[in-house]
Structure 1
């Protein structure tokens, strides 16, 4: 449910008040700043009265007062600006960390549906918008807001009748600010959406630059990006137009109010016994409001952009984490079985899997084969608890996997996917992923994964920098790295989803030999299109259209002469 501005204010304030002392120091600083503004207006009263009275005492007192007021004003400005900046930066830091952490806890289907561009845009552009609102906007609102309140209090103290005349335009100013604020909010939400589209397209071009070059589709990509960028430009211009109209209109209303004051003040019956100095001080205080009112109206656009971004961030943070109702901790591994499992992707018209029965045991290699789209990778996703089964059960040691704590359950798994992820860091960091492992363990895993030779050739060895997304590694090297990483986990279940597709024939054969050794104390689930990879598996399960259509050893399935035999013949060319 979409949250109101007030609800967003309260949630942001709750985060800001996590350090109440620092927040209080910032507010106290701007209270001092506001009081000094009223004091400066009163100096004008004393100055004019002193000139009329030719009082020699004021010749000494007034300059000292002015220096003191500006010194106190400077101290208040420092306290307010610095400590509210501390609060704002802590707020943004908390948002970034919470958002990054949330990405790692969201259900996989939520990440799949959001898209990379929207996710990156949230943690960059949206957080930047909240940053501006939490720093620039909050500072101006607090500082200038207290300044206006201080000046109004001083004006009421001097002449409450004239003050009521001055604030008669306040309802009109409120209407203008409210209308402009709603427009700012709508336009800010559209800008956020368009920034997500831009980020998505930049990511696609970076990932698919080779495809675009080979197919000569650069112009198409540029045109598509230009359209998205133009949409973003138009939304920003609408925002600028709203701001360009609202600010001078508010200034016009303030000037009308000041003109009315001057007209009334020039009538003797209205001022009565008010001294010239008091009147000048009143007009000075009223005039001093023009600048803070202008800044407060200008900051409305920044604030609404920040609120729109904060609403989007809170909406994401409020989403449910991956389902984890289980509390049990798995004991020693014995079996992992799928019993009558079916699954449908959200929004899909038909099931992706139906009536899947599998059993994984230590010392056995079970392979899934079949044409593309037959559901092999979906089986691995369900076993990994990325998605819950729609029908049937998946059991670990005879117990439903949903009854286990999610983190404890996944410690039973090691997984190598089709898309190998290499993190920006060293070879050691990519292998360990936070685990405390010795060099001997790392080199042993690299050797089993047929990766030791290339690792030794890297400058720096285990401490070699691999670059962003492993740009220094070939496809085969990346895949070997992922296999070594999975072996280091020492999990009882090893899932290999097209894990050797980028290996040459010699490396693949060597890894298959190593796999037989690894499978002595592990249950191994292999998914492969290259059937040469799985011919030595203890059981080959052949899938088609989300169902199991054949199962047996390589020899048995070849004798049947059905789907597997046809796929194998096609694999041989």
Structure 2
């Protein structure tokens, strides 16, 4: 529009001060339009363009950030709600990559679609103007559009392959970085620093090369668009003498076509960009499409206390794609207010039973009842409020010792310190340079296995649960420390429910009840005795 106005101004008649000519379809308007009027329109158009451009940038940025934020929230919420077995099938580094990086592809796709719509609308409007001015030129432009789209289609598959290759290389790089940070102590212990550095440099070069290829392909498609536009403009100019079109109308249409070229170029780049991010979009959509854990979304009856017993009724459990069950036909009861030991060799299903009690997984066959009510009918959150677990492998997070024991729960510091005393952890925590404020990474390599376990035990105790589950939670402690910890726990949980998984007979003997999960081969398969 601005170019058309400037062009019209250049045609002012010196004698009258009016515009010397306008395309014939404006009729008698040319005599009534003066230069000052066009200047005023031009200035207003420029100001309006600046204002609209600013408003458009603000709105587009706001919408883009809102979309990214919404998608990140949905992805994070999905990770928390998908069944635990499904979660275990994902690489942690891939999930981080999807949330932190690939989630932006949704906002990018939205922006691309909006810009595609704007560019397409502009193309249609300009095309309508060309049709009014000079229909033969409009026909040439349509022919150009067909050739242009066919040429663009040759790049679409290449862009999809490039996007998938780029994403794959980036995922490998993220996975290497993640595993190196997780296992840095082992990497240094085995002297593998140079090997990891070499692998990282190779993957980094691969990522860089895919991005450079993307830039080169973008430049190639831009060049193609420019060349085709120049070709159609040159064709119009050379054929203007033979086409049944007024020269001035042909010139105006040519200017419109030239002004249309940036919109065609943006249309091309956005369309190819969508092809390029297709793999990222598929990853995001695949994670969002995961079904939620039925127990997480289901309601149920609220449970305030365990009054009688937990009973396993002929329970079997198969992990996905496993040939043999992790638990087969388990039948036993755990009485409320008593201490119970779960014993058995490795692979007998002790940890699987703990996971079923935590409602992380549900029985494949049979059922679990709580005070005679099926666990599946009890509100999950009310059941988990009664429980706490401490295991052999403690998952620490970036934060202080206090943060790791509190674990983002609303727990008073005095309860945290009480729990540390119960776990016999205070004695080593206070010897750290900053005590409870000492910063721990997720690996906490400065802590021994026993110290990590005591922090994990303090975490479980800090919430003062009615039912405490210990899954080899003291296996890394020396006998003296383990004895002190168990003595404190037995005194604290006198009259409450304590369930302990242990390979040590000395630990099992301290419990009032014992359930032996050692499988016995019979004609019917594996039975569990108590």
For Structure 1 versus Structure 2, the TM-score category normalised by the shorter chain is 0.7 to 0.9
Is contact 1:194–1:232 with CA below 8 Å preserved after alignment? yes
- SS, match of residue 244 in structure 2: helix
Aligned 1:418-437 pairs, distance under 5 A: 418-437=392-411
State the Cα distance separating 1:88 from its structure 2 match: 0.7
> Which residue in 2 is equivalent to 1:112?
88
5 Å-filtered alignment, 1:218-237, equals: 218=193, 221=196, 225=200, 232=207, 236=211
- Alpha-carbon distance change, 335 to 228 in structure 1, aligned in 2, over 3 angstroms: farther
* TM-score normalised per structure 2: 0.85
Query: What is the aligned partner in structure 2 of residue 514 from structure 1?
Result: 488
Q: 1:505 to 1:180 in 2, by over 3 A?
A: same
- Measured at CA, do residues 348 and 85 of structure 1 come closer, stay the same or move farther in structure 2, by a change above 3 Å? same
Q: CA offset at residue 107 of structure 1? A: 0.8
Could you say what secondary structure the match of 2:293 adopts? coil
8 Å contact 1:118–1:196 — kept in the other structure? yes
Distance change in 2, residues 1:212/1:532 (3 Å)? farther
- Pick one of 486, 506, 525 that aligns with 2:460: 486
Q: What residue is the counterpart of 1:21 in the other structure? A: none
Contact 1:375 1:545 in 2 (8 A): no
2: distance between equivalents of 1:178 and 1:454?
67
- Is contact 1:326-1:402 (8 Å) kept? no
* Alpha-carbon contact 1:466-1:472 (below 8 Å) kept: no
Structure 2 counterpart of 1:305: 276
Which residue matches 1:95?
Answer: 71
**Alpha carbons of 1:550 and 1:388: their partners in 2 closer, same or farther (altered >3 Å)?**
closer
| Cα pair distance change 1:140/1:423, threshold 3 Å | same
Instruction: State the Cα deviation string for residues 235-279 of structure 1 (Å, max 9, x = none).
Output: 556645544443322332222221221122234x6223x5x3x44
Q: Deviations over 1:330-380 (max 9, x none)?
A: 253021122222211111121222122332223322223344333221221
Deviations 1:361-408 (A, max 9, x none): 233222233443332212211221222212222211122211222222
Paired with 1:103 and 1:48, the residues of 2 have a C-alpha distance of 64
- Structure 2, unaligned stretches of length 5 or more? 20-33
1:171 to 125, 128, 146: 146
Equivalent in the alignment of 1:42: 4
Q: Secondary structure at the match of 1:494?
A: strand
Map of 2:239 onto structure 1: 264
Distance (Å, rounded) in 2 between the aligned partners of 1:230 and 1:369:
52
Question: Cα distance, 1:43 vs. partner?
Answer: 0.8
Number of equivalent positions:
508
Looking at structure 1, the residues matched to 271 and 416 of structure 2 have their Cα atoms a distance apart, in angstroms, of: 56
Q: Which residue of 1 aligns with 2:256?
A: 285
The change in CA–CA distance for 1:457 and 1:66 in structure 2 (over 3 A counts) is farther
Task: Output the TM-score relative to the length of structure 1.
Answer: 0.79
What is the aligned partner in structure 1 of residue 26 from structure 2?
Answer: none
Taking the aligned partners of 2:456 and 2:110, their CA distance within structure 1 comes to: 42
- Tell whether 2:99 aligns with 1:123: yes
User: 5+ unaligned residues in a row in structure 1: which ranges?
Assistant: 1-38, 553-573
Give the number of the structure whose residues are more often helix, by fraction.
1
User: Take 2:71 and 2:127, find their aligned partners in 1: how far apart are those partners?
Assistant: 36
Name the SS for the 1:49 alignment partner: coil
Partner of 2:513: 539
Residue 447 of structure 2, aligned match among 474, 485, 492: 474
**1: CA distance, partners of 2:412 / 2:286:** 43
Q: CA deviation at 1:214?
A: 2.7
Against the structure 1 CA distance between its residues 343 and 532, is the aligned structure 2 distance closer, same or farther, given a 3 Å change threshold? same
Give 1:169-568 correspondences, 5 Å limit: 169-218=144-193, 221=196, 225=200, 232=207, 236=211, 239-240=214-215, 242-267=217-242, 270-272=244-246, 276=248, 278-324=249-295, 325=298, 327-333=300-306, 334-456=308-430, 464=437, 466-469=439-442, 471=444, 474-475=447-448, 476-544=450-518
How much does 1:51 deviate?
A: 5.9
* 1:67 has 2:43 as partner: yes
What is the DSSP-based 3-state SS (H/G/I as helix, E as strand, rest coil) of the residue aligned with 1:342? strand
What residue number does 2:23 align with?
none
- 1:161 maps onto 2:123 in alignment: no
* Alignment partners' CA distance in 1, 2:146 and 2:519: 67
Per mean C-alpha deviation after superposition, the further-off stretch among 89-98 and 362-371 is: 362-371
Shift of 1:523: 1.9
Assess if the C-alpha contact under 8 Å between 1:341 and 1:353 holds in 2: yes
Cα offsets for 1:294-335 (capped at 9, x unmatched):
232223333233443223212211211112245122253021
